[in-house]
Amino acid sequence: MNRILEEVIHRNAPIVDRIIAEHTAGYVVADNMANAVAETSFDNTSAQALVKHLNGTLVPACQSVVRDLDPTNQLTYMRVATRKFEYLVAPEEYFTITVVQ
Residues at the contact surface with another protein, assessed by CB under 8 A = 49-50, 53-54, 57-58, 61-62, 65-66, 68-70, 72-85
Instruction: Choose between 23 and 77: whose C-beta lies nearer to another protein.
Output: 77
Rounded CA separation 40/50 (Å): 11
What is the nearest approach in angstroms of another protein to the Cβ of residue 92?
14
At closest approach, how far in Å is the CB of 31 from another protein?
Answer: 20
Please state, in angstroms and rounded to a whole number, the distance separating the CA atoms of residues 15 and 1: 22
Q: Tell me how crowded residue 67 is: count the other CB atoms within 10 A of its CB.
A: 13
